[in-house]
Chain A
Amino acid sequence: MTDYLLLLVGTVLVNNFVLVKFLGLCPFMGVSSRTETAIGMSFATTFVMTVASLLSYIVTTYILVPLGLEYLTTMMFILVIAVVVQFTEMVVHKTSANLYRLLGIFLPLITTNCAVLGVALLNIYEQHNFLESIVYGFGAAVGFSLVLIMFSAMREKLANADVPKPFKGSAIAMITAGLMSLAFMGFTGLVKLS
């Protein structure tokens, strides 16, 4: 039990996918201009990451490995992720047309979110078992959401502030992200995973 908790804390804070591993930066920069879109995107990505890591674990363990087709891992994972994202998109469109419109192109772009593929592949690399895979995927998603929502709140304030002209827009956002990354370095050594 403690192991899973430590794994979760480690994935959310210490090895945060966005600010430490620098994966998933595209939606991080693209959706974070408003907090509403950030919250919507974080829900969608959480769902996709958890389900995708679960499905990819099952596919690897019960189809690819027994048949000796490990070389098809990347292709299969992309297929799985694309299907999950498409499914998520349909669900979002049905339940909240407003959110669907707000997210726009970034919803199908979760497919190309390297954090999702990263989680799936890292599960294989770290040789996690079933439960560990789920926890890892969920933790990655929580870490992504945490950072995304914090960043969007800061960007909303920055939008109204008196930023000097050369720094307006993406420039100040990048600088802020870099400073956040520096801050998250403070978590190093918090959790020691054996």
Chain B
Amino acid sequence: MSVIISTLIAILVLGSMALVFGAILGFASVKFHVEGDPLAEQLDALLPQTQCGQCGYPGCKPYAEAVANGEAINKCAPGGEDTIKKIADLLGVEVQPLDENHEADNTPKVAFIIEEDCIGCTKCIQACPVDAILGTTKQMHTIIADECTGCDLCVDPCPVDCIVMIPIAQTPQNWQWDLNNIPVVQLD
């Protein structure tokens, strides 16, 4: 008999303690409520913003949101290994090698329209995610090189194949102090 009573008391005590603590926590969760999901914004800040879509998402922000929800972190091709490492640091996960579906060629490029071939169809203008192409129907199109992110979404839609991707030239201003790569002129 006393065993049953003491068991009941024990259960009662535990239960009431749990209720009290639960109430405290519930109150605290309301008082300390945090809005929004800053993680997606922080991830977006790490991505290169080329809006190329190679990751499979229509832009960098959607991919950032997907990664915040558990998407693989190794899909950004323009970002390359550096971006994967930064995302891994942010999320506290392991660094993964870049997805094999993407090509490894990461040299920064800018698009260029060969003007003799352009027929003024505006297909490339519709494709550019950052509006870096100037032109209108039946008029010459040209690429604003400073705005071009090198995403090469414009190359495919062109029906006369007049857009090429040119690597950005190395000038003394953007030279990276790679002493192994200095062009040495041979003297006679």
Q: State if A and B touch, Cβ cutoff 8 Å.
A: yes
**Which residues of A come within 8 Å of B, CB atoms?**
59, 63-64, 67-69, 72, 75-76, 79-80, 83, 86-87, 90-91, 93-94, 97, 101, 104-105
Residues in chain A near residue B32, CB distance under 8 A: 90-91, 93-94
Q: What residues on B are CB-neighbors of A75 within 8 Å?
A: 14
SS class of chain A's interface: helix, strand, loop or mixed? helix
**B residues touching A (Cβ–Cβ < 8 Å)?**
6, 9-10, 13-14, 17-18, 21, 24-25, 28-29, 32-34, 38-39, 42, 90, 92
Query: A83-B21, A83-B24, A91-B32 are known contacts. Are A72 and B92 too (CB-CB below 8 A)?
Result: no
A selection of 6 A-B contacts at a CB cut-off of 8 Å is A67-B10, A68-B6, A75-B14, A86-B25, A94-B34, A101-B90
Contact (Cβ within 8 A) B17 A101: no
The residues of A that contact B34 with a CB separation of less than 8 Å are: 93-94, 97
Residues of A within 8 A of B13 (CB): 63-64, 67, 69, 72
Q: Is the CB of A97 within 8 A of B9?
A: no
Q: Are B28 and A104 in contact (CB under 8 A)?
A: no
Q: B38's contact among A68, A90, A97, A104, by CB below 8 Å, is which?
A: A97
Specify which of A76, A91, A101 is in contact with B14 (CB 8 Å cutoff): A76
Question: A187 to B29, alpha carbons, bound, how many Å?
Answer: 43
A75-B28 Cα distance, complex, nearest whole Å: 23
How many angstroms from the CA of A87 to the CA of B34 in the assembled complex? 14
Residues of A within 8 A of B28 (CB): 87, 90-91
